[in-house]
Amino acid sequence: MRPERWFYTVPLRLRSLFRRRQVEKELDEELQYHLERKTEEFLARGMMPEKAHFAALGAMEGLDQQKERCRDTRRVNPIEHFIQDFHCGLRMLAKSPGFTAVAVLTLALGIGANTAVFSIVNAVLLRPLPLPHGERVVSIQVTPMLADETTGPASPLQFCAWRAHNREFALLAAVRSLRGQVSGKECPEEILVLEDDYRTGAPRVCLISHRLWQRRYSEDRNIIGRVLNLDSKSTLIIGVLPPDFAFPDAEHDLWTVLHLNPEHQTERTLDVYGLLNSVFQLRMPRHGLLQSL
């Protein structure tokens, strides 16, 4: 039933929209024809020509009203009115360029600010961390009792104590970002290094970024097992990371083990991350491990 109706109605709607002039011309011609025949009728009854014309117009009850009523039946009037309003709006804007500029600028700034804020909210709050159990990963910061120290990284001493007494976290990890000097066969260069995976007596191994692999080692396929010199300590290359790997940001080129220097035990240099045993712990009051130290 429906498709058969569309067979008639769809071409009509399209015609009303895209052949508007033609449709209007035909409407005009149709009503004009009627008007002339009506006038002839009145003339035949012996009316004066001018009077007959007006009588015929009167019988139509307003030519323009009838045309408008015919247009209303086309069902595309809302679209046409929208297009007319749109054009009118454009003309008004063109008339007062100053106002237009201010309005456009306001909109641009508003949209820009919104986009910026949303990008941050999306990255920080909405998008889950690209890690298994990302919802359980937390960053741990130290808020000292003393007023002259700031909230931020932990010292090796604190981190080791947390590890020793930890019951709330499945894993605790500390990382430290620093500038390191790589040397070897190629000329020495300074890169951003991230140290993590703290264990006493861990072997000196490293992962390098895809970028460093391309730049320094010309995509050498036999890179694994080679030794580079990091701050004059031999370090074994055990892997190249994918191009899109970025932790904590895209500036870092080398990841190696964390070796804590006993002389700097109280310097607050470590960013600490933890994997909670359960995500529900986030809602509980946080005491125990962290407060006691």
Q: Which of 19, 25, 26, 265 binds other proteins (CB under 8 A)?
A: 26
Look up tokens 């070796």; give the residue: 259
* String of DSSP letters for 229-254: EETTEEEEEEEE--TT--SS-TTEEE
| CA separation for the pair 152, 163 (Å, rounded) | 18
The token pair at 149 is 């120290």
- Please choose, out of 28-36, 88-96, 123-131, 238-246, the segment that lies near other proteins by the rule CB under 8 A: 28-36
Query: Is there a contact between 174 and 271 (Cβ–Cβ < 8 Å)?
Result: yes
Q: Which of 7, 91, 126, 148 binds other proteins (CB under 8 A)?
A: 7
Query: Is there a contact between 159 and 200 (Cβ–Cβ < 8 Å)?
Result: no
Q: Which of 25, 51, 69, 233 binds other proteins (CB under 8 A)?
A: 69
Return the H-helix or E-strand segment holding 116: helix 97-121
The token pair at 284 is 């509980």
| Least separation in angstroms between CB 50 and other proteins | 19
| Least separation in angstroms between CB 99 and other proteins | 41
Q: Does 211 bind other proteins (CB under 8 A)?
A: no
Q: Does 66 bind other proteins (CB under 8 A)?
A: yes
Q: Does 30 bind other proteins (CB under 8 A)?
A: yes
The token pair at 24 is 């209007």
**CB of 5 or CB of 283, closer to other proteins:** 5
Q: Which residues bind other proteins (CB under 8 A)?
A: 4-5, 7-9, 12, 26, 29-31, 33-34, 37-38, 59-62, 65-66, 69-70, 72-75
